[in-house]
Amino acid sequence: MPPHANRGAAVLVTDTLPSRGPGASSGNGLRWLAAVIIAILIGLATLPFIASRAADATMYALQSVADKQRVYGRLLDLLTDAETGQRGYVITGDAGFLDPYHASAAAIPAAVRDLKPLAAGRGEQATLDEIERLAQRKLDELAATIRLRRESGFTEAAAIVGNRSGKADMDRLRLLIGERSAALERERLALRDRLDTTLDYNSVIGICAGVASMFILGSGLFVVTRSLHAGSEAADHARRLADAQADQARQSQARSERLTVTARMLQAMDSLTRTDELHSVLPAFLPKVLPGSSGTVYLYRNSRDYLQRAAAWGGGHHAELVSPNHCWGLRFGHAHAAQTGDDMHCPHLGDAPPAPGHTDLCVPMISQGEVLGLLSVSVPQGPDTAVELAAATTISEQLAIGISNINLREVLRRQSTVDELTGLYNRRYFDETLRRELFRAERMRASLAVVMIDLDHFKRMNDTHGHEAGDVVLRTVGRCLREGVRRSDIACRYGGEELVLVLPECDAAAARTCAETLRKSISALDLHHGDTTLPQVTASFGIALWPAHGEDAQALVQSADRALYAAKHGGRNRVCMAS
């Protein structure tokens, strides 16, 4: 509260009213009124602060849980990389396979150490002790096998890998890390519920602040009217008091509203699965969080050479791509403001200096020490400029939290829908997608094709050149399918060496053309494993069309399977259409 506000109340009480005689009861009334107003002002100043602290605490708790999920996920990736590197070296003897093993073996103890201080209680501490012990034993086992391969050759090392002693440890590690990840996901959902409740309290506080400010304004008017009778000097005091009170109430309400809108924005971001959906959420919230502003949110591209526009609002300059060298905020690693033509102006904002009466602010969005992108914003100058700039900096931190959570969800979703070996979608994704695409085809009265693909004599490839060589073939064919279909087509691994395509809005002629093109591409693949050139690979294709060959997913897949069977029996390396 500004110092003059209280002083005004004191002057009002002592200066304008006699303390004895007929005016004494009216003086008592004003004293009570002043006391009530002071109590309300204290409430207006402290309640939003307490509510915003509670919301902040919950948001940061959400961030900590996401951090922990990330470290557990990274630990599992490192263990898998170490084991994959060891297997590659044991099978091929090629030391190049040991690069991921060495990198992961060095990073695993550090990842476990990072997790230990984050443990929430004795249960998790005990789990982490067990993870640390198993991870160390796993690393010892991997190192011993690698040593044996180097000194005694493939057969002895393969015998150790084959006796599966290390598999039990790896399975147990997967189980422990999986259970912790699931528990963290439950904790994250509980924290989201708590954030909802805090926001509801916040809305109530906002409404109360509105009512209280009406009361204070009414009281101020009342006091002014009374004071006019008592003298103009007292009236001035009262007016200043009323102005200060109104200003206080306005600021409290604005802060409370900003906090509520920010939290709603984070909730909306929580429902996104990809960062390229940000443009559908941020422009609806950022103009309310930073009134009168315009700006752009940029995210680093995967190559990290440029930042790409993810969302923009208001007028002004919104370049599509920004070089990190063209932003002073990114180069300094902290917020950079330019108010006049003399200030250092970011080149990505164009040649013009800041618009008259505006400040340009560039804030790097940082999460976990990693710069995810840039918030570039232009805010109008006025009595509250400092408050607005501080708010923009806080918003950038919260955007960074929301964006890093979207990235985490994107990684988890990818892990659960994509087959690791081929990079194609997995069987579960195929089942869900085919059902969904059939509904869509029905609604739009469009055609749809399912193409089953099976590699020919693949067992012979495994038996002659080894399972690793078979994996190389599957991986290469997977890439061939991914690159050979339209963006709207869905290429999946159905199981083993069987693959399947869902081709929406595709008739018989187009499906046959697509299958023939892929068949030729597969048979033209130039395949190598180590120093060995692998024999030509061919595949057989079975096509079924909706609704002619099956009205539901199961019937359609069965028809495609029968057509595939016919292709095999017709001599393989051919395309057959269901009859």
Ligand X SMILES: Nc1nc2c(ncn2[C@@H]2O[C@H](COP(=O)(O)OP(=O)(O)OP(=O)(O)O)[C@@H](O)[C@H]2O)c(=O)[nH]1
- How crowded is residue 518: how many other Cβ atoms within 10 Å of its Cβ? 23
Residues 6+ apart with CB under 8 A from 489: 501, 502, 503, 504, 506, 514
Shortest distance, position 118 Cβ to ligand X, whole Å: 36
Q: Which is nearer to ligand X, 37 or 455 (CB)?
A: 455
Q: Which residue is listed with tokens 């409740």?
A: 197
User: Of 79, 75, 123, which is closest to residue 101 (Cα–Cα)?
Assistant: 79
Q: Is 453 helix (H, G, I), strand (E, B) or coil?
A: strand
Q: Which is nearer to ligand X, 357 or 571 (CB)?
A: 571
Residue, CB closest to ligand X = 470
Shorter beta-carbon distance to ligand X: residue 430 or 458:
458
Q: Which is nearer to ligand X, 133 or 460 (CB)?
A: 460
Q: Are 520 and 539 in contact (CB under 8 A)?
A: no
Q: Compare residues 124 and 497 and give the one whose CB is closer to ligand X.
A: 497
| Nearer to ligand X (CB atom), residue 474 or residue 506 | 474
Q: Which residues sit opposite 311 in a β-bridge? A: 297
Nearest in space to 146 (alpha carbons), one of 217, 93, 75 = 93
Q: How far is the CB of 572 from ligand X (least distance, A)?
A: 6
DSSP H or E run through 575 = strand 575-577
DSSP element (H, E) containing 542:
strand 539-546
Nearest-approach distance from CB 497 to ligand X, in angstroms: 4
Could you tell me the smallest distance in angstroms from the CB atom of residue 454 to ligand X? 5
Question: Smallest distance, Å, CB 538 to ligand X?
Answer: 9
For β-strands 321-322 and 336-338, DSSP reports them as unpaired
Residue 153 gets the label, from left (phi > 0), alpha (psi -120 to 50) or beta, of left
Collapsing DSSP to helix, strand or coil, 536 comes out as coil
Q: Is the peptide bond before 547 cis (omega within 30 degrees of 0)?
A: yes
Q: Which CB sits closer to ligand X, 231 or 496?
A: 496
Q: Which single residue is written with the structure tokens 């028809």?
A: 559
Q: How far apart are CA 364 and CA 329, in angstroms?
A: 6
In the complex, minimum distance from the CB of residue 167 to ligand X, in angstroms, rounded to a whole number: 17
Reference 539, options 465, 484, 463, 464; nearest CA is 484
- Return the ∠ at Cα 411 (arms to 405 and 118), rounded to 5°: 55
**What DSSP designation does 314 have?**
S
Of the pair 114, 471, the CB lying nearest ligand X is at 471
Residue 493 CB, shortest distance to ligand X, in Å, is: 9
Residue (379 or 567) nearer to ligand X, CB: 567
How many residues in the chain?
Answer: 579
Query: What 3-state DSSP class applies to 532?
Result: strand
Report the alpha-carbon distance of residue 265 to residue 47 in Å, rounded.
Answer: 22
CB 422 → ligand X: shortest distance, Å?
9
Closest to ligand X by CB, 318 or 493: 493
Rounded distance between C-alpha atoms, residue 374 and residue 157, angstroms: 51
- By C-beta, is 266 or 474 nearer to ligand X? 474
CB of 539 to ligand X, least distance (A): 9
- In 306-354, DSSP assigns E strands to 307-313, 321-322, 336-338
Min. distance of Cβ 458 from ligand X in angstroms? 3
Report the nearest approach of ligand X to the CB of residue 53 (Å).
53
List contacts with ligand X (CB under 6 A).
Answer: 421, 454-460, 462, 467, 470-471, 474, 496-497, 568, 572
